[in-house]
Structure 1
């Protein structure tokens, strides 16, 4: 049974500068909810309420968001705004969230290694703090991976099909199919050219790891950008013990760049009960004016 999750959220978010000079990228809102809150909610819906966040400089807003604000709660209570009061109490109470600081930004693999003492000798979930995964099946993607890990007794990486011409943007899995959605991993290739890609199955920002991933991270030297790369440790791990890939029953929403961030906001706004109709009308108006 997986009880703990790790969410790395230490990067600078340079693609969103100057906005992210003092504002964490993970706190950028999807309509009215910070991205990282949606990630935490996925973990909680999967049955995980013990969460470690690995944060860095200028990330204090993340800590404050998940802490209680008694003054605000009192203000809302006095004004009778019970719905808003319930919402902010939910944010601070839905999980036991711990924080650790990544002292230097030495890559995702290095950030994950900071979780070793908290995780101990247990399997755990890893959820990237800037990626939202929407489930199509009603089962959260992290829970989908947990079920597969329990069945096959190994680490699991979430995979999403991407257009073949875009494989050079992602880490890609080389694997052998076990069933319709699950693969035994042979190797991982970072951003291959389309002609060299073994598949079009890309990392989707969710993982279940056995605790020995920490041993492989300790053995991993600096790779691309002179950083400790999680993919390099995963490649070593896959050569010596079973590792699996699972095509998710869902859709990945990446906020790693401005265009995808805007697309994600529009997507969720069109599902929002208060916004979908007026926003739909506004989009139709914009499109109509453009082609007049």
Structure 2
């Protein structure tokens, strides 16, 4: 099974920082965002490779995941074996690349990886969001197995006033991941989906559960994307293909905790995630608070 990470965007919200350095390579602590996502994608049992959908304008991504024997040797000669190991490990991750040079939408980006996926189910992980404990996709795979290999998407509750900013799902609760008695919107709740609505008005939203950027999808999705007409913004939308899939196959949603993941899609979100990770890491927490000085108390 493969996992797809769409990463062909040019990171315009981060300019000028992304003029020569892809957004996906901006670091959170000492690791670029894209590596967090790759490692998360490889966590579920059965995933043996990650396909990054890249742009030819960003060769740095492919270079990052390639071997660097000269750098490794340089570090080892100077007794910096720990650093040499992290260089080696990042170059040995099972990552391959396909290219999307025209911004034709998320659905088109996923379709670019069709040959690599073949006739197997596949994950899709959006590249500006990662889950530090890497467990979200693992739990999605559990839900899929419990429902005959059906497609599963991750959703999270948002406030009623925010539903118009997201893709919102409709469905009925059919159980929970661990068997506990949970409300519909509580993490661990499982829904059988009946529809999806892109950015509905609050009064029209069927629920307040939004799609958070993690999908485990049937191979049928690739076939549907090949005939999918452009939708919102003139782009091929993955959500449109999933709505068509619902007419043929059952789909499920796993409710997750909104605080479980880390957003890096905007400069403000990236700074917030960097601060959060610095506070969670015992190796950096004290130094980070010291660097903040009086600001840490305000």
Same fold per superposition (TM over 0.5): yes
Contact 1:134 1:141 in 2 (8 A): no
Q: Which runs of 5+ in 2 are unaligned?
A: 177-188
DSSP-derived class of the 1:268 partner:
helix
Q: Is the 8 A contact 1:54 1:111 kept in 2?
A: yes
Distance, in Å, in 2 between the alignment partners of 1:114 and 1:188 is 23
Whether 2:247 is the aligned partner of 1:255: answer: no
1:151 aligns with 2:150: no
- CA deviations on 1:137-180 (whole Å, 9 max, x unpaired) are xx611111111111112111111122222222211111111113
Superposition pairs of residues 182-201 of structure 1, within 5 angstroms: 182-201=190-209
Are 2:8 and 2:101, in contact at CA under 8 Å, matched by a contact in 1?
no
Q: Is the Cα contact below 8 Å between 2:122 and 2:218 reproduced in 1? A: yes
Q: Say whether 1:228 aligns with 2:226.
A: no
Shift of 1:257: 1.1
1:16-27 equivalences under 5 Å are 16-27=14-25
Checking the alignment, whether the CA contact within 8 Å between 2:167 and 2:198 is kept in structure 1 is: yes
Q: Give yes or no for the alignment of 1:141 onto 2:136.
A: yes
Cα pair distance change 1:245/1:283, threshold 3 Å: same
Residue 163 of structure 1, aligned match among 155, 159, 163: 159
Contact 1:204–1:252 under 8 Å retained in 2? no
Stretches of structure 1 that go unaligned for 5 or more consecutive residues are none
2:38 to 29, 40, 47: 40
SS at match of 2:283: coil
Deviations 1:162-220 (A, max 9, x none): 22222222111111111131111111111122222111211111111110001211221
Residue 45 of structure 1: SS of its match in structure 2?
coil
Does 1:274 find its partner at 2:270?
no
CA RMSD of aligned residues (A): 1.7
